[in-house]
Amino acid sequence: MSKEKIKIIQNILKKENRYDIAILLENAYFEDYIIDGWNGGIGEVNIFVHPNNYLQLSRLEENEKSILIKLFDGLPHEYYEINSLTFSINTDIAIEHVNDAVYIFVDEAGDMDFSSNGSKYYMFNFLIKNRPFNLHEIIANYRYSLLERNLDPLSGKRLDIEAFHACEDNKYIRDEMFNLISTFDKNSVKSYSYILEKPKVDPSKRDEKDKFYVDNLNFAIHKLLDELEIQKDFIIITDRLPVHKNKNRQVAALKKGIKEYIKTKKLNIRYDIFHHCSASSVNLQIVDYISWAIFRKYERDEDIFYKKIEKYLIKIDEMTKGRKILHYEK
């Protein structure tokens, strides 16, 4: 029963645009008890939370705790009032064993049409995280809640969502996803963007699309690893390769480029790279959203969604910014 009441409080917090607190209460439950018998009893709430969220909740400001106390006091209870709360670790949750490998998720935006009909920009955007991936379950649950809407005959248009895609999702889903993504702890999540203004790209560098893709992705990865001052093992996961021609050659070239980087830097670390469909990974869907926001800012000068994710950006490399020659008009 207390878990259902927690969901009520989460919904209220979301409506008040306090996703940051609502997310931390996912799968929590609470117990309440009397701490003072005066005037019908003063109650306190003890909230049992996921171990990964305990320290962050314990550091809430007093005004943020006051919001929670007011909400719990608004729930049915047997006391004169509830005027305090505490947090405890839910020890019934199994904690997965994780190492400290760095995960790098990659998404590209723009097209490879180097003419006035194509996009003005082509870019690679990266999401850098370590396990545990705390928002996985929340975003997965949001997708399931959308599927469950189909069981309601009055819910309107049927939703068949295998994965989230910023360019395909409707406005309401897109807004909710950005609200969820904006609750990341900016100290544990980083993003990096590598941007090309396509009319400024030398034609000799873009004749072969597969080579253009691999060369720039390799260079972008090297620049990101420099920015991170990488000293740990890392895993790179991209979406399916966008250029279907010479896939084996592309994969081999990417691996060769990363091996050469590690050798040149004399690093004693290991790596691997995978190319998965976006539906297989919530993080690929998250970087898709981040990439969409960055692309809209540059391509259309729209920054409403960019402002929700810019706090995660450690650097934007505009690789063609200083070039003066335009090889075609856009």
pLDDT at 98: 60
Q: Are 258 and 126 in contact (CB under 8 A)?
A: no
**Residue 287 CB burial class (10 angstroms; 0-12, 13-18, ≥19):** buried
Of 68, 89, 110, the position where a domain reaches its end is 89
Residue 252 CB partners (closer than 8 Å, separation 6+): none
CATH number at residue 135: 3.30.420.10
Task: Please check whether residues 111 and 217 belong to one and the same domain.
Answer: yes
Of 212, 55, 6, nearest in space to 122 by CA: 212
Q: Nearest Cα to 47, choosing from 63, 32, 62, 66?
A: 32
Cα separation, 66 vs 55, whole angstroms: 18
126 domain residue, yes or no:
yes
Which long-range contacts (C-beta less than 8 Å, at least 24 apart) are formed by 319-327? 319/194, 319/195, 319/196, 320/195, 320/196, 320/197, 320/200, 320/201, 321/197, 323/197, 323/200, 325/200, 326/199, 326/200, 327/114, 327/199, 327/200, 327/201, 327/202, 327/203
Pair (136, 210) in one structural domain: yes
Task: Tell me the three state secondary structure of residue 327.
Answer: coil
Write out the residue range of the structural domain in which residue 11 sits.
2-89
Residue 284 in any domain: the answer is: yes
Pair 42, 181 in one domain: no
What is the DSSP pairing of strand 234-238 with strand 102-109? parallel
Domain assignment of residue 96, yes or no = no
Q: Are 174 and 166 in contact (CB under 8 A)?
A: yes
Residue 206 tokens read as 């873009």
Taking the chain (330 residues) in runs of 10, the rounded mean pLDDT of each run is 89 90 90 82 91 90 94 90 92 72 95 94 96 79 88 80 93 94 86 97 91 93 96 92 73 92 95 91 95 97 96 96 90
Do 176 and 30 share a domain, yes or no?
no
In a domain, 295, yes or no: yes
106 and 85 inside one domain? no
- Indicate the helix (H) or strand (E) that contains 130: strand 121-130
* Amino acid letter for position 188: S
Q: Is residue 155 domain-resident?
A: yes
* Domain contains 326: no
Give the domain-ending residue among 54, 89, 124.
89
Report the number of distinct structural domains present in the chain. 2
Same domain for 43 and 179? no
β-pair partners for 236: 104, 273
Q: Over the Cα atoms of the chain, what is R_g?
A: 24
**Rounded distance, CA 14 to CA 251, Å?**
43
> Same domain for 271 and 140?
yes
What is the C-alpha to C-alpha distance for residues 138 and 279, in angstroms, rounded to an integer?
16
Residue 328 lies in a domain: no
Residue 94 lies in a domain: no
Residues 71 and 135 in one domain: no
Number of residues in the chain = 330
Shared-domain flag, residues 183 and 146: yes
Last residue of a domain, one of 89, 123, 157: 89
77 with 108, same domain: the answer is no
Residues 75 and 106 in one domain: no
Considering only CA atoms, which of 312, 24, 22, 13 is closest in space to residue 189? 312
Q: What is the pLDDT of residue 243?
A: 67
What is the reported pLDDT for 149?
85
Q: Tell whether 153 and 31 lie within a shared domain.
A: no
Cβ count near 216 (within 10 Å): 20
